[in-house]
Structures are given as C-alpha cells and as structure tokens.
C-alpha cells in the first residue's frame, strides 16, 4: 500500500529542514540556511514532480499488532506509527515523517497555531518548576529525563456558538426596622425575567482521548490571533496526532461551557435583591460552527515509583502545568539531620552550663 510521507529538503544541501519556532522559518542544521514558507513553497513547486516520485515510493504495511509500518524515504529504515499518529520521526536518521495520507478528508485540519516555544524553552520552564523544591525526586532533575520533552500538535475542535438563554426567578427585597419594642420585617417579591443571545467564539475541546482533558484545559488560553491555515510544513521537527473524538462528541463539552456561562451571565444581571431564587432557566443553540485545528503542546512524562507524572506546556504562550511529587526519603533524611543538629546544640548548651 502506498502512502505519503515526506520532509522538506534544504534547497542548498538537500538535508532535512526543521521548523524554527523563534524565527517562524525553516532552518537547515547542516549548512545553516534558513527559509521562509514562501521560499520553500516556491522551491518545491518547481520540483513537484520529484517530490511526487519520492512520496509514491513509500510503502505502508500493517504489523501483527495493527500498527502502521512505513519506510523512511531518507534512509530506508522502518517507521512504526499507530492509527492516530500523523507526524513522527525516524529513529535512525531523525528525519521527520509526515504521514500525509492520515491528514486528508475529514482529518485535514482547517487551521493550526505553529510552535512559538522551542524545546529549550520548554526544558528551561520545567527546570524552573523544580527550583526551591529540596524534596523533589532526583528523577525530575535528571537531564536525560528532561530531554525526553516532545513537541506535539494536539487535535482540537474549536466551536462558535450563539446561545439564546432564558432565566426566570423570584427576587426578594427584605428590609427590617424597629419601632419601640417591636421589630418589623418587610419582604417585597418581584418576578425577574431575563432573555438574551450571547456569542462565543473558538471554545476549545481536546479531540484526542490519549491526552488528559483537565491538563489540556489547564494550559489554555491560546491566542487565536496566531491561527494560520493548515500546512504540513509546520509539522517538520514535531510529532502530530489526528482526532479520535469527533465533532459531535466533543461538541457536548463546549456546549456545556457556553450554556453554563450564559446562565451565569443572566443570573448576574439580577442585582439589588436580598434573595434570588431561580426557578427556571433554559439555553438553546441559536447558531453553531466548528473548526478542526492543531494546537502546539510540549509534553513530558516521567515515571516515579510506578506512577506516570505528566507535564504540559502551551507551545505558544509558555504556560506550563504539572505536579512534582515529594521524595519521602529526602524528607526523612532532612528531619533526621535537623534532629541530630538540635540534639548536638542542646548537648553543647548543657555542657557549657555545667562548666559554668
């Protein structure tokens, strides 16, 4: 079975080009050349017949576990990928393998945000988390572990909604006063009614079951002004996934967020009352549109005492999330040292007191 897997080649030396997040261009690590997307597109359009011959020569097979096996067009080694992987690396020549046949039709993203943070940025941000944590396990400061940081384009669905909301409530104003020996309380009850249409743009929902939804939500927000039309060029040097949660499934999460926000906003307009008792509220979708996009995330997984600890950094803004555990052995040693120090100090004071 033929498949499309390719990497951009340097026009000067034919070595692989990789996307440079800081310069937002493509660089050659061998000859040091740098190119804009326009320059790459122009170069490759002139030699399109050669690229076509190269990509058609790539074969894809299935192994006994159902994994896809590709042949690296650069060195001939086998590249193993599962169904969701759309960009990976050859373990021998480090060439990026962009599996174009997995990014067609319904799996072809409309937009993407390129990486703006490099691997070095992500590693430095992770190291800063560990600063000031004397009880951090050594596995989390091990340079070899930190270098396993991977840049992955995560599939997301972005939703635009217009939500029509209705709220009905009993709003009460309670006042009290004292006259002589008597205390009076007056309650005025009003019927509060609110209705309105609210627009929401680009509510994100993670489109992959392989990534923790809470973690993906925690690295928001992305700046959607950075969205560009999808291009395979930006995948060079990074991993990428395709969605396995379709739009209809993901839509429920986005709609819940929009509906809750609409109801909360309507409720916040009922002000100036002592008590507000909401007895009816309803939200209906007035209009809807979805967009399939790829968003940049740096990921790091570290194994510690049989548990996998995950860290994620927004590849555009640099926001990083993840928990570092405490090494109980280090805590015990610290307390033991402190106890011995206090004991020795107390003994010294006792001895000096005895001498006097």
List, for residues 279-309, the tens digit of each pLDDT value.
999 998 888 899 999 999 999 988 888 888 8
Sequence-distant (6+) residues with CB within 8 A of 204 are 156, 157, 158, 220, 222, 254, 295
Q: Are 193 and 168 in contact (CB under 8 A)?
A: yes
- CA gap 352, 356 in Å, rounded: 6
* Phi, psi torsion values for 41, nearest 5 degrees: -60, -40
Same domain, 302 and 350: no
DSSP string of 230-295?
--GGGGTTSEEE--SS-HHHHHHHHHHHHHHHHHHHHHHT--S-SEEEEEEEEEEEEEEEEEEEEE
For residue 117, give the DSSP letter.
Answer: S
How does pLDDT run across 171-181, given as a tens digit for each residue?
A: 999 999 898 88
- CA gap 120, 117 in Å, rounded: 8
* Pairing assessment for the beta strands 228-229 and 34-35 based on DSSP bridges: unpaired
36 pLDDT more than 70 = yes
For residue 178, give the DSSP letter.
Answer: E
Same domain, 161 and 280: yes
Helix, coil or strand: residue 209: coil
Same domain, 313 and 243: yes
199-205 average pLDDT score: 93
The pLDDT of residue 73 is 62
Which residue has better confidence, 347 or 27? 27
Q: How many residues does the chain have?
A: 356
Q: Give the DSSP H or E segment for 79.
A: strand 78-81
CA-only gyration radius of the chain, Å: 29
The answer to whether the Cα torsion of 65, 4, 70, 26 is positive or negative is negative
Same domain, 310 and 185: yes
Last residue of a domain, one of 69, 87, 102: 102
Least confident of 81-90, 107-116, 140-149: 81-90
- CA gap 126, 301 in Å, rounded: 12
- Asked, for residue 119, whether it belongs to a domain, the answer is no
Same domain, 97 and 201: no
Query: Beta-carbon neighbour count of residue 10 at 10 Å?
Result: 21
- Asked, for residue 57, whether it belongs to a domain, the answer is yes
- CA gap 149, 313 in Å, rounded: 10
How does pLDDT run across 118-172, given as a tens digit for each residue?
A: 999 999 999 888 787 787 788 888 888 888 898 989 999 999 999 999 999 999 9
11-15 average pLDDT score: 84
The pLDDT of residue 97 is 63
Q: Are 299 and 126 in contact (CB under 8 A)?
A: no
The pLDDT mean for the chain works out to 82
Same domain, 302 and 336: no
Same domain, 192 and 280: yes
Last residue of a domain, one of 102, 117, 142: 102
The pLDDT of residue 196 is 92
Same domain, 189 and 319: yes
Helix, coil or strand: residue 10: coil
Which residue has better confidence, 311 or 242? 311
- CA gap 270, 281 in Å, rounded: 13
Burial 277-294 (b: 16+ CB within 10 A, else e): ebeebebeeeeeebbbbb
Domain count, the chain: 3
Same domain, 288 and 339: no
- Asked, for residue 84, whether it belongs to a domain, the answer is yes
Same domain, 26 and 156: no
- Asked, for residue 296, whether it belongs to a domain, the answer is yes
Q: Pinpoint the alpha helices (H) of the chain.
A: 37-46, 48-56, 119-130, 143-146, 213-218, 247-268, 328-355
Q: Which domain holds residue 351?
A: 330-356
Last residue of a domain, one of 102, 130, 163: 102
- Asked, for residue 139, whether it belongs to a domain, the answer is no
240 pLDDT more than 90 = no
- Asked, for residue 220, whether it belongs to a domain, the answer is yes
For residue 8, give the DSSP letter.
Answer: -
Residue found under tokens 């249409």: 197
- Asked, for residue 71, whether it belongs to a domain, the answer is yes
- Asked, for residue 157, whether it belongs to a domain, the answer is yes
Same domain, 353 and 204: no
Same domain, 3 and 51: yes
């Amino acid at each position: 079975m033929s498949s499309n897997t390719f990497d951009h080649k340097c026009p000067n030396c034919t070595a692989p080009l990789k996307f440079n997040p800081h310069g937002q261009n493509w660089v050659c690590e061998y000859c040091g050349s740098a190119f804009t997307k326009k320059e790459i597109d122009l170069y490759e359009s002139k030699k399109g017949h050669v690229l076509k011959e190269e990509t058609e020569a790539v074969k894809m097979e299935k192994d006994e576990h159902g994994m896809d096996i590709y042949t690296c067009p650069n060195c001939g080694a086998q590249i193993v990928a599962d169904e969701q992987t759309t960009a990976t690396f050859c373990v021998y020549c480090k060439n990026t393998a962009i599996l174009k046949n997995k990014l067609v039709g319904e799996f072809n993203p409309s937009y993407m945000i390129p990486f703006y943070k490099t691997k070095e940025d992500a590693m430095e941000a992770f190291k800063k988390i560990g600063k000031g944590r004397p009880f951090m396990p050594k596995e989390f400061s091990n340079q070899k572990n930190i270098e396993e940081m991977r840049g992955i384009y995560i599939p997301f669905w972005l939703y635009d909604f217009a939500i029509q909301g209705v709220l009905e409530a009993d709003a009460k104003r309670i006042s009290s006063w004292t006259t002589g020996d008597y205390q009076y309380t007056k309650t005025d009850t009003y019927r509060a009614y609110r209705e309105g249409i609210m627009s929401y743009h680009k509510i994100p929902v993670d489109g992959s079951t392989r990534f923790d939804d809470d973690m993906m939500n925690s690295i928001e927000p992305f700046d959607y002004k950075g969205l560009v039309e999808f291009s395979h060029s930006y995948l060079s040097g990074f991993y990428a996934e395709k969605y396995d949660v379709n739009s209809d499934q993901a839509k429920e999460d986005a709609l819940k967020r929009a509906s809750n926000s609409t109801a909360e906003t309507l409720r916040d307009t009922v002000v100036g009352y002592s008590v507000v008792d909401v007895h009816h509220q309803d939200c209906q979708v007035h209009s809807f549109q979805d967009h399939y996009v790829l968003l940049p995330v740096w990921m790091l997984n570290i194994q510690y005492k049989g548990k996998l600890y995950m860290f994620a950094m927004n590849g555009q803004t640099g926001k990083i999330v993840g928990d570092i555990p405490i090494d109980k052995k280090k805590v015990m040693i610290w307390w033991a040292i402190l106890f011995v120090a206090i004991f020795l100090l107390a003994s010294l004071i006792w001895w000096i007191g005895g001498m006097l």
